[in-house]
Amino acid sequence: MKTVITFGTFDLFHVGHLNILTRARQLGDRLVVGVSSDALNIHKKGRAPVYDQQDRMHILEELKCVNEVFLEESLEFKSDYIRTFNADLLVMGDDWAGRFDSLSCLCEVMYLPRTPSISTTSVLEIVKRQK
Ligand code: C2G
């Protein structure tokens, strides 16, 4: 059985998120998703996500293409998560291209092209402009 692992914030869940998850799932038999914690986002991006970590995890848990969801507490723990979940393949969007190549000693690493023209930031901007 081939296990695929991926990571993300998945705030204001949108079709770009769905596309990478369905493509990742098609590359194996089981998809495990690490959802970045609220604390990790505050630390790295200086603000909390719009949806809190429980809600972001809950949305992912209910998706047909996702088999398991866990909380990503630090960007530096990826090798531990890969080992814990016995992952054969790490998938990330190509905005992260090259960033996780050092993990290729643990599992295969693949960067998939992002879905164009949509992001959490662009959704937030559109909503703000419409106020
Ligand atoms: N994504 C995509 N197309 C988009 C937007 C996002 O393919 N239009 C992908 C990203 O490349 C990423 C995943 O969806 O692989 C989740 O995106 P974010 O929620 O923005 O996650 P991010 O904050 O980049 O992840 O260890 C990584 C961290 O958890 C942070």
Domains, the chain, ordered by start:
3-129 (3.40.50.620)
Inform me whether the pLDDT recorded for 100 exceeds 80.
yes
HSE-CB of 25 using CA atoms within 13 angstroms: 16
- Check: pTM over 0.85? Answer yes or no: yes
Question: Per residue in 44-94, pLDDT tens?
Answer: 999 999 999 999 999 999 999 999 999 999 999 999 999 999 999 999 999
pLDDT of residue 55: 98
Could you tell me the two tokens for 46? 């200086």
Residue 72 CA: nearest ligand 1 atom is: 29
Name which residue sits closest to atom 9 of ligand 1, judged by CA.
93
How far is Cα 2 from Cα 87, in angstroms, rounded to an integer?
7
Token pair 């960067």 is found at 111
**Which residues approach ligand 1 with their CB closer than 6 A?**
7-11, 16-17, 20, 36, 72, 75, 92-93, 95, 114-115, 118-119
At 131 the pLDDT is: 72
Distance 17 CA to ligand 1 centre (A): 7
Q: Within 13 Å, how many C-alpha atoms sit on residue 12's CB side?
A: 13
